[in-house]
A and B are shown apart, each in its own frame.
Chain A
Amino acid sequence: MSTLLKFSEAPFVCACVIRLLCIAIFLTALEYIMIIRQFADDGIYSWKMIKLRTAHSIRKLSPEILFNKPGVLTIMALRIGSSIYLLIDPISPVTVYILAIVVTTSLLLAVRNPIGGDGADQMSAITSIALLITFIFRDPKITAVSLYFIAAQSIISYVIAGTAKMLSKKWRSGAAVFQIMNTESYGSERIALYLHRSSPVVSAVLSWNVMLVEGLFFTVVILPYPYCLVFLAWGLFFHAYNAVVMGLNNFFWVFLSTYPAIIYANIALHHYWGF
């Protein structure tokens, strides 16, 4: 319970969010550095190619030096440096400046790479912006509102994903689980074989498990402690599974980073609003 009380303190929650998010930022930036040659003119992320594509004038007018290979390398180096600093010291007088670097480089990367990104990159940028707003104003009420926003964005992501699945016949029948696990991109040969050989009920149970928990994820802020932790424990396992089996490694840290904000919102709802 004493640990839970810590999650009612905004600075502690902000530090948790920053640290978990910075693990994601560090790993993602390092992944890009490992394939930095793909940002040269002959790579799949060639800026000469990408800038041809877009109708957005900002992208067309962007200076070459910012988005060529050395430019991207600089952006990634800045993100690695910033994430290491914030991992060590998440709350200090310079946090706002470091977060400004993180946000600016996130926005630059979004412009630079219209392909190859995913939902984890978006959640990372959204969380960074909310944290930056928090540290610009350093006001307890603005901090609370920013943490509620991070929690709301995370909860909405699960609820929308669950609802969209419920609208699909493939998901309701359980066929989608087998079909996704059967792909080489996101699946596993052993799991696909198991699901193929077992009763369709197994796939249906797995499918409904995902749909119901995602669809009902909003109750994570309503349920009292420790029942709310069931949803977060499910989320932890879900993202770990997605990282190991489906290869969605960056989702794990990014979505995990929103969980302290969810606990904070839960406590606030129960204690201050008497819910």
Chain B
Amino acid sequence: MILYFISVFYIGWLILTCANQPVFKSNKWISHHDLFRLVPVWTFFAPNPGVSDFNLLSRVKLEDGTITTFQEIPLRSKKELSTALFNPERRLQKALNDHARTILMQIDNEITEQNKENIKLTFSYISVLNYCAKLPLAPRAYAIQFIILESFGYQELMEPRLILNSDFHRL
């Protein structure tokens, strides 16, 4: 009897996995309810692979009104044989990339000219702002601004484009 229940449980899990792929409408419902992320999406880099990189830059306004130059915050680490085994930076950069991609999707799909201020209330915007604001900054920094750029690889297939240009936020 236990074997029967466990077999049904596993078969159900496999069916849910198949139903969670983006070609099916059930994908959104399953993903939304999958708190423990146990029903994966296995489409890795398909059907539309990511063909761009995100670049995160920030600058600060000093108390005297001077604005510093943009500094790039690294979102990619150098690939070496050692990082093929152990790459802690990837975990940080993956989170920042996930936020950048979410911001891009929100701007493309949800944000319009009328509600563009809403982007500042999103989780990803606040998280990136929080992260940038806590990096070592110039002395007497008063406010911070960040931008997200999308670039198109080593062989630049297209000009980089600006995804987001944040306001200056008081520190």
Q: Which residues of A contact B (CB under 8 A)?
A: 27, 30-32, 34-35, 38, 42-46, 49-50, 52-53, 56, 58-59, 107, 110-111, 115-119, 121-123, 125-126, 129-130, 133, 137, 139, 141-142, 145-146, 148-149, 152-153, 156-158, 160-161, 164-165, 167-168, 170-171, 176, 179-180, 182-189, 192-193, 196, 240, 243-245, 247, 249, 252
Contacts and interface: CB of A to CB of B under 8 A. Distances in A.
B40 A123 contact: yes
Contacts of A119: 40-42, 44
Pick the 5 closest A-B CB pairs, nearest first: A182-B153, A42-B134, A168-B47, A34-B88, A164-B46
Contacts of B92: 35, 38, 44
B157 A129 contact: no
Contacts of A42: 130-131, 133-134
Contacts of A244: 79, 81, 84
A189 B10 CA distance: 43
10 contacts: A35-B89, A53-B123, A142-B6, A146-B10, A153-B14, A158-B42, A164-B47, A183-B153, A192-B154, A240-B84
Interface in B47-104: 47-54, 75-77, 79, 81, 83-92, 94-99
Contacts of B41: 119
A133 B37 CA distance: 18
A189 to B, nearest CB: 5
Given A156-B42, A165-B46, A149 B130 contact: no
B18 A156 contact: yes
A247 B90 contact: yes
Nearest to A244: B84
B134 A59 contact: no
A203 to B, nearest CB: 13
B35 A31 contact: no
Given A52-B123, A126-B38, A171-B47, 20 more contacts: A31-B88, A35-B89, A38-B92, A43-B131, A44-B92, A52-B126, A107-B36, A156-B14, A161-B46, A164-B21, A164-B23, A168-B48, A168-B49, A179-B49, A179-B153, A179-B157, A180-B50, A184-B154, A187-B154, A196-B155
B127 interface: yes
Contacts of B99: 44, 115
B13 interface: yes
B96 A44 contact: yes
A149 B8 CA distance: 11
Task: Determine which residue in B14, B42, B52 has the highest number of CB atoms from chain A within 10 A of its CB, and name it.
Answer: B42
A31 B86 contact: yes
A111 B79 CA distance: 30
Contacts of B53: 183-185
B68 to A, nearest CB: 20
A145 B123 contact: no
